[in-house]
Amino acid sequence: MLSELEIGKFRAFGYVVLRSCLSPREVARLQAAHDRAIARAPINNYFGGGSGTRTLSPFVEADDAFGELIEHPGVMEAMRDIWGTECLYNGGSDMWSNLDDTPWHSDGEPGREELTLKTAFYLDEQDESQGALSVVPGSHHPQFCAAIFRACGYWDERRPRLRLDPHDIPGAVSLHTQPGDVVLWDNRLWHSAFRRSDGRPRRTMFIGYTPDPLDDLLEISALRATVGAHLKANHPLVYSKEMMRKGGQAREKMAARLEALAWTT
Ligand SMILES: O=C(O)CCC(=O)C(=O)O
């Protein structure tokens, strides 16, 4: 359970590190599954190309170990502590073997009001010189997020970026994590992650959530738009039939709630 202070920090600063949220056994299973799945994943030139970065998106269907992350009890509990309501998997999931620098960016249009959350699972220890996630605390607040972009930003093919020295961003903090820690953050935060100095790939996995919009019609519309943006012709369902067959009660409940919201007018 998160403390009152951790919940307050999340609301003020936009992130929390759930230390040792996964057991060593869960980590070992995920590392093996990641190695198997990423070997078959395509090269992704998202950051410029040539480095050999690979991505699989969505990835949660590729192995039962990944599917189980969606409703991991430790993650679900932390989100419930923060929002006082259940959070729903919104269909966004991506897995990387990343050999590139991930430049400073905020996910989506800077200044957007809609809230989405991301969980990050890092399969190796990461610190400032070895690929750690960096964030500008508090930059998830829409006005702060937009102010940073207005003052120091530019569009790179509609992706928001910063013109500043990436290693000297005012107020940035680097999040030192061990395998088993989970970083939960508000996607609107300005964040970056640089390649490891030891030359190894950053083995990473990200899953997207939205707090249950309850009966707020505007938030229901926003959730539908988020889910819709993650579906593709070759991936038409948030949960495949196979995932539903294998999932337990928690998955059943989240999927049923998402389906009910799809039909709310
Ligand atoms: O690779 C990382 O740690 C950061 C990932 C990221 O920037 C994102 O998911 O938007």
Instruction: Give all strands (DSSP E) within 99-225, no chain letters.
Output: 102-105, 117-122, 133-135, 153-156, 159-162, 173-175, 182-186, 191-193, 202-211
Q: How far is the CA of 102 from the centre of ligand 1 (A)?
A: 7
Q: Which residue's entry shows tokens 């943006």?
A: 229
pLDDT digits (tens, 9 = 90+) for 71-84: 999 999 999 999 99
pLDDT band at 265 (very low <50, low <70, confident <90, very high): low
Task: Look up the pTM and report it.
Answer: 0.96
pLDDT band at 235 (very low <50, low <70, confident <90, very high): confident
Mean pLDDT for 48-61 is: 91
Sequence-distant (6+) residues with CB within 8 A of 57 are 93, 94, 95
Residue 105 pLDDT > 80, yes or no?
yes
Distance CA 72, CA 76 (A): 6
Q: What is the CATH number of the domain that holds 252?
A: 2.60.120.620
Closest ligand 1 atom to residue 94 Cα is 9
Owning domain of residue 95: 4-262
N residues, the chain: 265
Phi, psi (deg, nearest 5) at residue 66 = -75, -45
Q: How far is the CA of 42 from the centre of ligand 1 (A)?
A: 18
Q: What is the mean pLDDT of the chain?
A: 95
Q: How many domains does the chain have?
A: 1
Structure tokens given for 153: 């930003």
- Ligand 1 surroundings by CB, under 6 angstroms: 98, 102, 107, 118, 120, 133, 191, 193, 204, 206
3-state helix, strand, coil split of the chain in percent (to 5) is 35, 25, 40
Mean pLDDT for 218-233 is: 93
Ligand 1 pocket test: pick from 15, 55, 102, 119 the residue with the most ligand atoms within 8 Å of its Cβ: 102
Structure tokens given for 75: 């993650």
Ligand 1 pocket test: pick from 191, 195, 202 the residue with the most ligand atoms within 8 Å of its Cβ: 191
Distance CA 106, CA 93 (A): 17
